[in-house]
Structure 1
Amino acid sequence: MAPELRTVSGEDWADVRALRLRALADAPTAFGATLAEAEAQPESVWRSRTDGPGPLVMAYDVDGPVAMGGLFVPEGSAEAFVWGMWVAPEARGHGVGARILAALVDHARGLGRSVVLHVTEGNDAARRLYEAHGFVGTGEWQPLREGSDLRIEALRLA
C-alpha cells in the first residue's frame, strides 16, 4: 500500500522532529542545518516550523512517517520555497517524493506563487526528481552552510 500523504500541524511536531533528525543523520550534506543544531531545538521551534507559513506534507506508512517536504510561503513575496524534502531509504523508488513535491507545487500555484528550491551539488537523485517536475537550474550558487565546501543551486519551476 502506498504511503498516505498528510499535511501536518503543530500537534504532529514529534513526528516532524523524529523524521527530520532521521533525514539529517541519513543525508547530512543535503540540508542547511546540521543534526546537532536540530537536536538542540526546543519543542516550540518544532511546533512553529510545523505550523507554517506554508504546508508541511509528510508521508506515513503503517510504521509511521517515511517522507517529508515543506513549502515556505513568505508574506509579501511572489515566491514559495520548497524545503526539507527527504524520503526514508525503505520508501525510495516508489514515487513518494514526487507525490509530496507535486502537492507542494500545487499549493504554491493555487496561491499564484512561483516555486523555488535548492539542491546540493552532487545530490543527483534529488536533482533528477526536481528536473522531472519542471525545475531548471538558475546558475545561482551559494554555500550549503557556513564552513561547508559544498554548494547549493537554486532551481526554479519553469
Structure 2
Amino acid sequence: MVRLRVLTTDDWPLWRDARLAALAEAPHSFKSRLKDWRCGGEERWRARLAMPGAHNVVALLHEQAVGMASGLPVNSGTCELRSVWVSPEARGCGVGDLLVAVIEAWARRSGATKLRLAVIPGNEPAVTLYQRHGFDFSGELGDLLPDGAREQLMVKKLR
C-alpha cells in the first residue's frame, strides 16, 4: 500500500534520492537536469525543502520512494504544482492521482483560488493526469526550454 509522507527539512536525504531518481529516469519530463542537482550538499537540499510555505510530499511503497510532488505558493491567490514524478514500477496504480490530490488539498487550505503548473511539451501522460484532475491549458507562454520549445502552462480554478 502506498503511503504519502509530508517532508520536513530533516527529510532532505529522502527528497534528494527521489529527486535524483526522477531526473535520471525521466529527464524529458523536467526543465531541471540531473547534472544540475548532483552538485551541492545537504544545505542545498535542505534549502529546497525550506522554501517558505512549500508543501513537499513523497509517496512510499514498502518504505521506498515511488513518487514525489511539491506545492509552492506563488502569490496570495495562486499556488503551483511542481516536481511531480511517479516511478515506473508504481505507474498505473493511482500514485500520480494521490500526489496531485494532496497538493490540491494543500493549496485549498492555503486559501489559493488557482493551482497552476508547467508541463514539458510532448509529456502526454502528465497532461492526461492533469486534465483528469480538472486542469486546462491557460493559453499563456511558459518558460523557454533549451530546445527552443516553451513549457505548456495549465491551471485549475479552486473556487
TM-score, normalising length: structure 2: 0.91
In the alignment, the residues of structure 1 paired with residue 78 and residue 16 of structure 2 have an alpha-carbon distance, to the nearest angstrom, of 26
Q: Is the 8 A contact 2:70 2:103 kept in 1?
A: yes
Q: Which residue of 2 aligns with 1:84?
A: 83
The alignment of Structure 1 onto Structure 2 pairs a total of residues equal to 155
In the alignment, the residues of structure 1 paired with residue 104 and residue 119 of structure 2 have an alpha-carbon distance, to the nearest angstrom, of 16
In the alignment, the residues of structure 2 paired with residue 14 and residue 69 of structure 1 have an alpha-carbon distance, to the nearest angstrom, of 15
In the alignment, the residues of structure 2 paired with residue 80 and residue 157 of structure 1 have an alpha-carbon distance, to the nearest angstrom, of 10
Q: Is the 8 A contact 1:55 1:72 kept in 2?
A: yes
The runs of at least 4 consecutive aligned structure 1 residues that moved more than 4 Å come to: none
Give, in angstroms, the shift of residue 81 of structure 1: 0.5
Per-residue deviation, residues 69-101 of structure 1 (Å, max 9, x unmatched): 000114x43210000000000010000110011
**After alignment, is 84-93 or 28-37 more displaced?**
28-37
Q: Is the 8 A contact 1:118 1:155 kept in 2?
A: yes
Q: Gaps spanning 5+ residues in structure 2: where?
A: none
Per-residue deviation, residues 5-34 of structure 1 (Å, max 9, x unmatched): 010111111111111111111111211211
Secondary structure of the corresponding residue to residue 68 of structure 1: strand
Per-residue deviation, residues 117-138 of structure 1 (Å, max 9, x unmatched): 0111110000000000000001
Q: Which residue of 1 aligns with 2:96?
A: 97
Structure 1 letter corresponding to 2:132: A
In the alignment, the residues of structure 1 paired with residue 104 and residue 85 of structure 2 have an alpha-carbon distance, to the nearest angstrom, of 16
Secondary structure of the corresponding residue to residue 16 of structure 1: helix
Q: Which residue of 1 aligns with 2:140?
A: 140
In the alignment, the residues of structure 1 paired with residue 142 and residue 100 of structure 2 have an alpha-carbon distance, to the nearest angstrom, of 23
Per-residue deviation, residues 45-71 of structure 1 (Å, max 9, x unmatched): 211212333210111111411100000
In the alignment, the residues of structure 1 paired with residue 63 and residue 144 of structure 2 have an alpha-carbon distance, to the nearest angstrom, of 32
CA RMSD of aligned residues (A): 1.4
Q: Is the 8 A contact 1:31 1:144 kept in 2?
A: no
Q: Is the 8 A contact 1:143 1:149 kept in 2?
A: no
In the alignment, the residues of structure 2 paired with residue 80 and residue 119 of structure 1 have an alpha-carbon distance, to the nearest angstrom, of 15
What percent identity do the matched residue pairs reach?
Answer: 33
In the alignment, the residues of structure 1 paired with residue 35 and residue 144 of structure 2 have an alpha-carbon distance, to the nearest angstrom, of 16
Q: Is the 8 A contact 2:118 2:142 kept in 1?
A: no
Distance 1:33 1:144, change over 3 A: farther
